[in-house]
Amino acid sequence: MLYKGLIEKYREYLPVNAKTPVVTLNEGNTPLIFSEDLSHELGLKVYLKFEGLNPTGSFKDRGMTMAISKAKEKGATTVMCASTGNTSASAAAYAAKCGMKCAVLIPDGNIALGKLAQAMIHNAKVIAIRGNFDDALNLVKTITEKYPIELVNSINPFRIEGQKTAAFEICDSFGDAPEFHAIPVGNAGNITAYWKGYKEYHSAGKSKTLPKMLGFQAAGSAPIVLGHVVDKPETIATAIRIGNPASWKPALAARDESAGLIDAVTDDEILSAYKRLASGGVFTEPASAASVAGILQLHKKGFFDHVKGSRIVCTLTGHGLKDPNIAIKNVGQPVTLNADIKEILKEVGL
Ligand code: F0G
């Protein structure tokens, strides 16, 4: 049967009715890739939920199909969000799909080029503010409270509803939940959404168990780990450069109810995991690699010593093509040679 996107697939678990105009780009249905490399090193069965293969290249599309469909149902004509890049790319695309206006606030100079290009080409009004993501989100909250504009950040509950379907897909693939689920944490909407999804599927009898949620923030932007707001968040993983996450409390609930943890990984650990994933054929953006950096760090501490053979899923939140600059910066430029067979064979090592 033709796949029609996650709202049609999981309609019975979502707050939609026959009258909801479904705005979709056929998001969801992303692959769970088995990693031989990581499984071998960790003594676990490691799967990568590659959310970079959504229509705009990140998991945000799952939430955006719901948020935009519900905004349309309500009669909204304009949507707005603050973003470190992916939310704005997704909001712009879904708004374009259904003829809505979209305005986005981004932190000036701290968004990957691909994401900026996406928001612009889909005709969003893109405003770079002199400030960080947290400043932008505060502005968007104030504006959307006062004016007839729909907020499509993850404090919009429909975003969480859409994003929870990733947990459903994982349970549908395995016939149960994995033992562990590792995920990058920025504004903390996604960890909240996965946990909601796992719990709902469990209650519905679709899975027998619940996973332990393992969340990872970048060390320079780790408010939840530190237990306080970070005024000047820093990290090369610009997608998760956030000092005051909107879903802080639900993220703590996900951590505690699942008997999991939320920890920090350094930029070096993120970059190393980023390069390692790419060496294994999977190109993610740096923020996405935080989940893998996190489990490698836990492995070194012996965290998995007594649970060998367990199944663990790492969410890879966005595609590597979003940020080509950081890739080139980390691996260097190609060699340039004359158009000469001998020179080429020498370079290839033949
Ligand atoms: N990974 C990527 C690639 C992201 O873009 C984000 C968030 C996260 C992880 C963290 O997810 O916020 O639900 O904890 N990006 C948002 C944005 C903030 O504006 O695109 P979270």
pLDDT for 168: 98
Reported residue count of the chain is: 350
Q: 318, 51 in Cβ contact below 8 A?
A: yes
Using DSSP's 3-state secondary structure scheme, residue 150 falls into strand
Q: What is the pLDDT of residues 178-209, one digit of tens each?
A: 999 999 999 999 999 999 999 999 999 999 99
Angle in degrees, 0-180, between the axes of helices 113-121 and 86-97, rounded to the nearest 10: 20
Amino acid at 304: F
pLDDT tens digits, residue range 218-263?
Answer: 999 999 999 999 999 999 999 999 999 999 999 999 999 999 999 9
pLDDT (0 to 100) of residue 216? 98
Buried b (16+ CB within 10 A) or exposed e, 92-121: bbbbbbeebebbbbbbeebbbebbbebbee
Buried-exposed string 67-90: b where 16+ CB fall within 10 A, e elsewhere? bbbbbbbeebebbbbbbbbbbbbb
* 105 pLDDT tier (thresholds 50, 70, 90): very high
Show the ligand 1 pocket: residues with CB < 6 angstroms: 58, 60, 83-87, 154, 184-190, 239-240, 285, 287-288, 317-318
What's the confidence (pLDDT) of residue 261?
A: 98
Residue 250 confidence (pLDDT): 98
In whole angstroms, give the CA distance from residue 76 to residue 69.
Answer: 10
Position 145 scores a pLDDT of: 97
Q: Which residue has its alpha carbon closest to ligand 1 atom 6?
A: 239
Quickly state the pLDDT bin for 1 (edges 50, 70, 90). Answer: confident
What is the predicted pLDDT for the residue at 44?
98
In the DSSP assignment, the letter for residue 249 is H
| Span 266-289, pLDDT tens digits | 999 999 999 999 999 999 999 999
- With a pLDDT cut of 90, the percent of the chain lying above it is 99
How many whole angstroms from 345 Cα to the centroid of ligand 1? Answer: 43
